[in-house]
Amino acid sequence: MAIEMVPALPDHVVGFIAKGTIERDDYIGTIDPAIETALAMHDKISLLYVLGADFEGYTAGAMWEDGELGAKHLRSFDKVAVVTDVAWCRHAVNLMGHLIPAKVKVYSVAEEADASEWVTA
């Protein structure tokens, strides 16, 4: 799997580290279950998503799953922090952030600690 969980976060925050190419199975096997588990305990959750130096991109299936997840849980997120230096990801998140009711911030990889602090507060 190309997704790792960010350890030691409060239970209202779900965190992922993306490495390599993200595939549909990463959503089905890791991302979706972690979000569903957190939402079983909280009405709203926050998300920390780190796309670091090892991140290579998404398959079409992963993009589809991401869209389905976003539509299903449109109002389930309080805060979303995306950490990346990948220009197209930064632009996409900034654009999509205006379309969802959550507070969305994009951080550079050097600001990962700031992103974690903001999303867990």
pLDDT of residue 75: 93
How many of the other CB atoms lie within 10 Å of CB of 45?
23
Report yes or no: 10 and 46 within 8 Å, Cβ to Cβ. no
pLDDT of residue 108: 98
The count of residues in the chain is 121
Give the structural domain span for 90: 3-120
Tokens of 24: 């549909």
pLDDT of residue 1: 60
* Distance of alpha carbon 4 from alpha carbon 18, whole angstroms: 7
CATH code, domain with 19: 3.30.750
pLDDT of residue 70: 86
Phi/psi for 44 (5° steps) reads: -130, 145
Domain count of the fold of the chain: 1
Mean pLDDT by 10 residues, the chain (121 residues): 92 97 95 96 98 93 92 93 96 90 96 98 95
Tell me the CA distances in angstroms from 38 to 19, 92, 94, 118, one per residue in order.
Answer: 22, 25, 25, 18
